[in-house]
Structure 1
Amino acid sequence: MFEFVSLSEEAYANAVTSQVSRGSYRFLLPQLPEYGQVMSRHDEKQIEYLAVRERGSAESANPATGAHGEIVATALVYYQPWRKLFRRAIITYGPVLDWDNEPLVRFFFTELEKHFSARKNVVSLRINPPVAKAYYEDIEKTAESEQGQAVHNFLTSQGFVRTTKEFYDQPDIPIRYLYTKDIAGKSFPEVADTLRGTMRRQVKHRGRYGVEVEFSGAENWDVFHKLYEASRERTDMEELSGSSAQMYRDLLATMGPQKAFIGLAYANPEEYLAQLQADLQDLETRIAKLEEPPATGKKTRALKELRNQQQASTRRIAQISQLLDTYGPGRIAFAGVLAFRCGDELVQLLRGFNKDFGLFNRDYPLESALLRWACENQIRIYNTFGVSGIFDDSAPDAAVLEYKRNLHGNIEEFIGTYTLELSTLAGPLGALE
């Protein structure tokens, strides 16, 4: 027998922790308790924690609460203010439950609708369940998901309407295509050997070209945000609002360094230039020595190789000198990531890169550091987060997807975003869009 309940913040956190520790369900960021805590600080009426408890015997009662049974379904609900007097109920990447348990699913949604309908100012409900629509190998679809079709059929039978828009059409539509890699139980060398192309070789190096990678918290938000803006302007990503930026800073502080961090890769052009100049001087000394008579075939071949190196080094010195003229001396952050640990998943929500520093990115230093961290911290899913779902050169993120494919992972496609009308006012108020 099931019981529909509203949980306290603490009870919800305990339920999520229990589910995560058992690996029962997948909780993405907007369903984590810390997300609710941060949102509640701005308006405690904006967040509610709903759940289904499977009733047990009296002997199984929780001594602290007197409650019987196990929490088997959860939803962190955000009540979005709408047209001043109204609210939209939004469950982002949720609800979280066993979608194959038809009695549970039917009970939960019946009770959800009753619960929201009792709140006369709530005019609509939007959800986007983390349920697969299809399965992929890399970017090639291999099969449709029977579960996804069943959930879609159920939701539409309950009156939900699936939107045809994607996040690049409407920014508040949650991303439904992810690019992820399963690294469960693997060491960093084992993961590195599964990568593609140059990433497979280069990611194994550490600290070359004077590059350093550091993980930090909200104190480096402004540095990361500047890098994000540099990438956003090139790739048509959405500008971060002030409220979103504040939310991410608050999440970094609330979740702490083991669950949330900013990763930054730093270059020092001045130091690297000095190294290149010393290397060039050494090359010139070796070339001068080989140019001394007598000439031999072996010397000629060696000279050709060294002169090629000399030309490459000269070009790099010119490039680094230009960087110094533009950015000045000292350490400069050139790549960044905002990452969150969600259970056994590392979600890289946002990234930024200064393309002027491509010379320093040859070893994929940020990717190397993230993969090492993931392996050391028993991460199962390495989640590079959203892609457009357009898999040809017309995609707005074609270059981004090409980079992510070096990880040799797979596309995940969710079933999408669904909206339920709870009031006849929803349409006129634009709350179904």
Structure 2
Amino acid sequence: MYFTQLTTKEFQEFVDHHFSHYTQSAAHYEYRAEHYQDAYLLGVKDDSENVLAACLLTKARSFKFFNYFYTHRGPVMDYNNIELVNFFFKNLTDYLKKENCLYVLADPYVLESVRNADGEILEHYHNEHFKKELEQLGYKHQGYTTGYSDMSQIRWLSVLDLKGKNGKEVLNEMDYQTRRNIKKTYEMGVEVKDLSIEETPKFYRLFHMAEEKHGFKFRDEAYFEYMQKVYGDNASLKLAYVDLDKYLTTLREKHDDLEQQIAEVNKALEESPNSKKQKNKHNQLSQQLNGNQRKIAETEEMIQTDGKELDLAAALYIHNEHEVYYLSSGSNPKYNRYMGAYRLQWEMIKFALENGIERYNFYGITGDFSEDAEDAGVQQFKKGFNAQVEEYIGDFIKPIKPFWYAVSSLLGKIRH
């Protein structure tokens, strides 16, 4: 086998057929190569020209005179093949030395454990041989971290397994309240539509509301435009909304139907005044009618104050052959009762099922499963969909120029 550069076609075919993160894509490479000239496709082939390993790397300036390289949840390979692991990373070091590399950060998409939503380990993966091999090659593991970091990819993901399931099965495996909330979004006229890249400000307005509510600052609007440009048709902005005129029409049709049912019950009561069954039915229908009339009044008032269409929640999604990723979202807390976030998730879960994608990735959580975790509410939301927690192995750093890496670390030029 030999270490080599890969064509975009070779690379994409390999990652399509081997489990890989969305960042390991030809679209990502082509955009970075065209606009920044900072991306590389490297891999290993056997003597028959079959690709055995593939990795998209990007570089950035570090410590003024050197370059820093990052593997973007790569490389993509069989990590149980220690000979291949050794061969790839040894040759990567030789390659990076020629690229004036100060250090490289690798964060393989390798599972450490699968847990239930409460953090209890269901399955542990034995990565000792792989980890030991990397450490012998000079890669220092950065620890089993929890929490969010702006310096590395999140180590804890919340994932819904869709393999071999249909929509009914997926829905039935969710908890009762989540199923009920999804059902209610249909009753309340919640719909989902695509936003174009020109409509990114509409998404960002809702995203910024989430930032203000939770007291964090993540990305600016330009970042979300960038993600759509990079990933093209594999990226989408989705908006959950209510057309209040349509909803009002539905409510009025229900009003007429309930009145007709009550009239039929009244007629039955005239014939049988002491019928307990008809009296109970009359009470139930009257309660439904009163509730529906209240909704009509509220909706008519909201049209006057807020307009005919309400933007409830929006989210950025990316998908590849293996997963749909729910990356960033926001919602208007004023309209929480419409539960737009639930409808967004369900529509995209259906998208995954319809396209034969076997994993729905709710993405990052902190890995803190205590009641006072900063993302406790988020964890409960994802738990309701029957998502499990996947813990990944984490980051490894390899100094390519050890002396200058030590100097830059002492000077605080490298954060890790």
- Shared fold, TM over 0.5: yes
| Structure 2 residue corresponding to 1:48, chosen from 37, 40, 45 | 40
Q: Helix, strand or coil: the match of 1:425? A: helix
Contact 2:147/2:367, CA 8 A, preserved across alignment: no
Query: Which residue matches 1:189?
Result: 168
Matches within 5 A, 1:112-131: 112-120=92-100, 122-131=101-110
Q: Pick closer, same or farther for the CA change 1:363–1:410 going to 2, 3 Å.
A: closer
Matches within 5 A, 1:30-45: 30-44=23-37
| Structure 2 residue corresponding to 1:136, chosen from 98, 115, 121 | 115
Contact 2:148/2:366, CA 8 A, preserved across alignment: no
Q: Pick closer, same or farther for the CA change 1:285–1:194 going to 2, 3 Å.
A: closer
Deviations 1:69-126 (A, max 9, x none): 2111111111023354332111121111111111110111111122212333x21111
Query: Which residue matches 2:19?
Result: 26
Matches within 5 A, 1:1-20: 2-7=1-6, 11-20=7-16
Contact 1:75/1:95, CA 8 A, preserved across alignment: yes
TM-aligned CA deviation for residue 185 of structure 1: 3.3
What count of residue pairs does the alignment treat as equivalent? Answer: 406
Contact 1:166/1:174, CA 8 A, preserved across alignment: no
Query: Which residue matches 1:262?
Result: 237
Q: Helix, strand or coil: the match of 2:70? A: strand
Distance 1:386 1:322 in 2: 39
Cα root mean square deviation, aligned: 3.0
Distance 1:165 1:193 in 2: 34
Distance 2:389 2:361 in 1: 10
Contact 2:11/2:26, CA 8 A, preserved across alignment: no
TM-aligned CA deviation for residue 264 of structure 1: 1.8
Q: Pick closer, same or farther for the CA change 1:90–1:210 going to 2, 3 Å.
A: same
**Letter of the structure 2 residue corresponding to residue 309 of structure 1:** Q
Q: Does 1:239 align with 2:215?
A: no
Distance 1:287 1:248 in 2: 54
Task: Name the TM-score, length of structure 1 as normaliser.
Answer: 0.83
Q: Larger deviation: 218-227 or 197-206?
A: 197-206
Contact 1:192/1:203, CA 8 A, preserved across alignment: no
TM-aligned CA deviation for residue 199 of structure 1: 3.0
| Structure 1 residue corresponding to 2:328, chosen from 322, 344, 350 | 350
Query: Which residue matches 1:421?
Result: 399
Q: Helix, strand or coil: the match of 2:188? A: helix
Q: Does 1:161 align with 2:140?
A: yes
Query: Which residue matches 2:357?
Result: 379
Contact 2:197/2:225, CA 8 A, preserved across alignment: no
Distance 1:167 1:12 in 2: 35
Matches within 5 A, 1:212-251: 212-241=191-220, 243-251=222-230
Q: Helix, strand or coil: the match of 2:193? A: strand
Q: Helix, strand or coil: the match of 1:146? A: coil
Q: Pick closer, same or farther for the CA change 1:154–1:327 going to 2, 3 Å.
A: farther
TM-aligned CA deviation for residue 218 of structure 1: 2.1
TM-aligned CA deviation for residue 377 of structure 1: 0.7
Sequence identity of aligned pairs in percent? 23
Query: Which residue matches 1:59?
Result: none
Task: Name the TM-score, length of structure 2 as normaliser.
Answer: 0.86
Distance 2:344 2:301 in 1: 23
Structure 2 unpaired stretches of 5+: none
Q: Larger deviation: 209-218 or 126-135?
A: 209-218
Contact 1:387/1:397, CA 8 A, preserved across alignment: yes
Matches within 5 A, 1:187-336: 187-200=166-179, 203=182, 207-241=186-220, 243-252=222-231, 255-256=232-233, 259-273=234-248, 275-276=250-251, 279=254, 297-298=276-277, 300-313=279-292, 315-317=294-296, 319-320=298-299, 323-329=302-308, 331-336=309-314
Distance 1:352 1:29 in 2: 22
Structure 1 unpaired stretches of 5+: 57-68
**Letter of the structure 2 residue corresponding to residue 378 of structure 1:** G
Contact 1:166/1:175, CA 8 A, preserved across alignment: no
Q: Pick closer, same or farther for the CA change 1:325–1:231 going to 2, 3 Å.
A: farther
Q: Pick closer, same or farther for the CA change 1:112–1:168 going to 2, 3 Å.
A: same
| Structure 2 residue corresponding to 1:72, chosen from 22, 40, 52 | 52
Q: Does 1:391 align with 2:372?
A: no
Q: Helix, strand or coil: the match of 2:368? A: coil
**Letter of the structure 2 residue corresponding to residue 48 of structure 1:** Y
Distance 1:322 1:388 in 2: 41
Distance 1:167 1:76 in 2: 26
Contact 1:92/1:128, CA 8 A, preserved across alignment: yes
Q: Pick closer, same or farther for the CA change 1:278–1:135 going to 2, 3 Å.
A: closer
**Letter of the structure 2 residue corresponding to residue 344 of structure 1:** H
Contact 2:324/2:352, CA 8 A, preserved across alignment: yes
Q: Pick closer, same or farther for the CA change 1:83–1:269 going to 2, 3 Å.
A: farther
Deviations 1:337-378 (A, max 9, x none): 221222231112222222322333379322232122111111
Distance 1:284 1:400 in 2: 42
Q: Pick closer, same or farther for the CA change 1:432–1:43 going to 2, 3 Å.
A: same
Distance 2:144 2:68 in 1: 18
Q: Helix, strand or coil: the match of 2:92? A: helix
Contact 1:39/1:247, CA 8 A, preserved across alignment: no
**Letter of the structure 1 residue corresponding to residue 377 of structure 2:** A
Q: Pick closer, same or farther for the CA change 1:308–1:97 going to 2, 3 Å.
A: same
| Structure 2 residue corresponding to 1:96, chosen from 76, 83, 88 | 76
Q: Helix, strand or coil: the match of 1:222? A: helix
